[in-house]
Chains A and B, each alone.
Chain A
Amino acid sequence: GAGVSQSPSNKVTEKGKDVELRCDPISGHTALYWYRQSLGQGLEFLIYFQGNSAPDKSGLPSDRFSAERTGGSVSTLTIQRTQQEDSAVYLCASSSNSGAGNEQFFGPGTRLTVL
C-alpha cells in the first residue's frame, strides 16, 4: 500500500479481555516498530522487527504484551488481560532499513480504551 495502515482505528474493551492490534507496513520495508503513546506523553518504544532477525522486545512493559510479524510483513501486537493503564494510542512505523537516520513512516495508530 501507499502507507502504513493499522486496524482497528479505535478499540474499546473491558478490563481483563485480550486485544489484537494489526499493522500493515509499507511494502518492502524490512524494519517495523511498535510504539505506545499515552495521553500527553512522548512515544514509548515497545518492540522492533528487522527482517528475519530476532525482534528486540526490550520495550514491552510486561509479559502480557507480545508481538509477531508473519512473513516479514504484517505485524500483530497482542495485549492479554488488558488493564486500564494499557489505554493509549498504539503506533506502528516502518522503515526501509534499520540503520540510524532512516526515516520511520508512521501509521494512523489504534486508540485503545480499557474500561
Chain B
Amino acid sequence: EDKVVQSPLSLVVHEGDTVTLNCSYEVTNFRSLLWYKQEKKAPTFLFMLTSSGIEKKSGRLSSILDKKELFSILNITATQTGDSAVYLCAVGPTYKYIFGTGTRLKVLA
C-alpha cells in the first residue's frame, strides 16, 4: 500500500532557529514529490522534486530528494513567526497524489 509519512508531527522553535522536516514514502512508480505550506485552509505550493530535479532552494527554504532512500527533507533557516504553519508532503505516481499528515511548525518570537 502506498504511503507517505512525515516527521516530526509537530515542532516548536524560536525565531532564528533552523528546522528540518522529514518526508518518507513508499509509492509505486514514483514521479514527483511536492511540498506545501498550509496556514489556514488552502495549501500553498513550495517545491516540486522529481528525478531530474532533486534539490530546490527558495530564499530560506530548501529541499532535497533522496530517491534511493525514499525520503525528502525540507529545511527552513533563520525561522520567522510567519513560518508557523502545517507543512505537507505529497508524492505522486501520477495525478493521484498521496499526502502525509503534515508537520505542524510553531515559531515563537
Instruction: Write the residues of chain A forming the contact surface with B, with a CB cutoff of 8 angstroms.
Output: 4, 31, 33, 35, 40-45, 48, 50, 56, 58-59, 89, 91, 98-101, 103-109, 111
Q: How far is the CA of A94 from the CA of B93 in the complex (A)?
A: 18
Q: How far is the CA of A103 from the CA of B34 in the complex (A)?
A: 8
Q: In the complex, are the beta carbons of B95 and A103 less than 8 A apart? A: no
Residues of B51-109 whose CB lies within 8 A of A: 88, 90, 92-102
Q: In the complex, are the beta carbons of A108 and B99 less than 8 A apart? A: no
Q: In the complex, are the beta carbons of B88 and A89 less than 8 A apart? A: no
The size of the chain B interface, using a CB distance under 8 A, is 26
- New contact pairs (15) apart from A91-B43, A106-B36, A108-B41, CB-CB < 8 Å: A31-B95, A40-B101, A42-B88, A42-B99, A48-B95, A59-B96, A91-B41, A98-B95, A99-B95, A100-B92, A101-B48, A101-B92, A104-B97, A108-B40, A109-B41
- Residues on A with C-beta less than 8 A from B4 are 42
- Residues on A with C-beta less than 8 A from B99 are 35, 42-45
Closest to B4 in A: A42
- Residues on A with C-beta less than 8 A from B98 are 45
What are 9 contact pairs spanning A and B, CB under 8 A?
A: A40-B101, A42-B99, A42-B100, A43-B43, A45-B97, A100-B50, A101-B48, A104-B97, A106-B36
Closest to B92 in A: A100
**Sorted from nearest, which 10 A-B pairs have the closest CB atoms?**
A100-B31, A109-B41, A42-B99, A101-B32, A43-B99, A42-B101, A106-B42, A98-B95, A108-B42, A103-B45
Q: How far is the CA of A98 from the CA of B101 in the complex (A)?
A: 23
Q: In the complex, are the beta carbons of B41 and A43 less than 8 A apart? A: no
- Residues on A with C-beta less than 8 A from B101 are 40-42
Q: In the complex, are the beta carbons of A103 and B97 less than 8 A apart? A: no
Q: How far is the CB of B70 from chain A (nearest CB, A)?
A: 16
Q: Does B44 contact A (CB under 8 A)?
A: yes
Closest to A105 in B: B45
Q: In the complex, are the beta carbons of A103 and B48 less than 8 A apart? A: yes
Q: In the complex, are the beta carbons of B43 and A106 less than 8 A apart? A: yes
